[in-house]
Amino acid sequence: MQPLRPVPPGARLLLGAGFFAVFLGLWAWVTEGGHVPALFLASPGRTLAAGWSLLTEYGFLGDIAVTVFRVVGGFLIAAVLAVPLGLLMGAFKPVEAFFEPFFSFARYLPASAFIPLLILWAGVGEAQKLAVIVIGSVFQLVIMVAVIAGGTRMDLVEAAYTLGSRPLGILRRVVIPAAAPQVAETLRLVLGWAWTYVIVAELIGASSGIGHMIMDSQRLLDTGQMIFGIVVIGVIGLVTDFAVKLLNRRLFPWAAL
């Protein structure tokens, strides 16, 4: 092994799958081998069976759809609010000076702590679920986008000026395209956080969704269902993450060079 030397794609896939196998093996060993009581941790087989019954008998697909809708909705609202503002803050320092201190404060407010308040304001409907995600991600996103935009290479900005750009041209033709790939990567990261927030929101005061199902299963002490729910979130996360990564590489071929 040499530092920073890339792995060939085949070996990479094998290594990645390898750890999944190790993990599954360990899980099977502690459960099937009776090292932990079945009441606390279902075996992989029991988890799969529980999942099957969830999907076929309890309409779990509906829950998944509801949760995905909330994640995507909340994430999109946050992105639409945060990305333009972040870009403006990064590009124009007075705008940054105006918003940055408050947002730096606001991003430390834990979204989950707002849940009781939000239930008071918005009830337990969709608006409340979306609000939790938006509150959880929008401030972080603004700050990160502002930092990215603020890091635009000054020499490129100057080159653009000597080619006739005016301030708005700099924003449109230098700051935004320069920031785009990193902003896209940041959005990918924030989409991951949105999953955490949605589940938290669904654990409290929800009547549908993956989080609600997990909460219900706890009442029935069905660890198989609970674990299946968690695994489903992981799988969806993995798939979307991969898809977004691929999309980013398509959109910004120059950034991957």
Partner 1 sequence: MSDKTLRIDGVTRTFPARGRTPPTLALQPTSLSVAPGEFVAILGPSGCGKSTLLRIVAGLDRPTAGTVSLDGRPVAGPGPNRGMVFQSYTLFPWLTVERNIRYGLVERGLPEAEQAAIAARFIARTGLAGFENHWPRQLSGGMQQRTALARALANDPEILLLDEPFGALDHQTRELMQELLLEIWQGDRKTVLFVTHDIDEAIFLANRVLVMSARPGRIKAEVPVPLPYPREWTVKTTPEFGALKARLMAEIREEVRRAAVSTGT
Q: Which of 95, 122, 147, 160 binds partner 1 (CB under 8 A)?
A: 160
What is the spatial distance between Cα 80 and Cα 246, in angstroms, rounded to a whole number? 21
What is the spatial distance between Cα 73 and Cα 109, in angstroms, rounded to a whole number? 21
User: What six digits make up the tokens of 8?
Assistant: 């060939």
Q: Which of 1, 21, 120, 163 binds partner 1 (CB under 8 A)?
A: 163
What is the spatial distance between Cα 80 and Cα 138, in angstroms, rounded to a whole number? 9
Q: Which of 180, 200, 210, 232 binds partner 1 (CB under 8 A)?
A: 180
Please report whether residue 162 would count as binding partner 1 according to CB under 8 A. yes
Of 1 and 163, CB closest to partner 1 = 163
User: What six digits make up the tokens of 104?
Assistant: 């730096």
User: What six digits make up the tokens of 37?
Assistant: 């009581």
Please report whether residue 165 would count as binding partner 1 according to CB under 8 A. yes
Of 58 and 252, CB closest to partner 1 = 252
How many Å is the Cα radius of gyration of the chain? 22
Q: Which of 18, 151, 177, 234 binds partner 1 (CB under 8 A)?
A: 177
Please report whether residue 168 would count as binding partner 1 according to CB under 8 A. no
Please report whether residue 161 would count as binding partner 1 according to CB under 8 A. yes
Q: Which of 65, 169, 207, 249 binds partner 1 (CB under 8 A)?
A: 169
User: What six digits make up the tokens of 193?
Assistant: 């956080």
Strands (E), 78-133: none
The site map against partner 1 for 119-158 (x = CB under 8 A) is ------------------------------------xx-x
Beta-carbon contacts of 89 under 8 Å, excluding residues fewer than 6 positions away, are 95, 96, 99, 100, 142, 145, 146, 149, 150
Residues numbered 227-256 forming contacts with partner 1, rule: CB under 8 A:
252-255
Position 39: which residue type? Answer: L
Q: Which stretch binds partner 1 (CB under 8 A): 21-29, 126-134, 170-178, 183-191?
A: 170-178
Q: Which stretch binds partner 1 (CB under 8 A): 41-49, 175-183, 186-194, 215-223?
A: 175-183
Position 256: which residue type? Answer: A
Beta-carbon contacts of 21 under 8 Å, excluding residues fewer than 6 positions away, are none
The residue ranges that bind partner 1 (CB under 8 A) are 155-156, 158-165, 169, 173-174, 177-178, 180, 252-255, 257
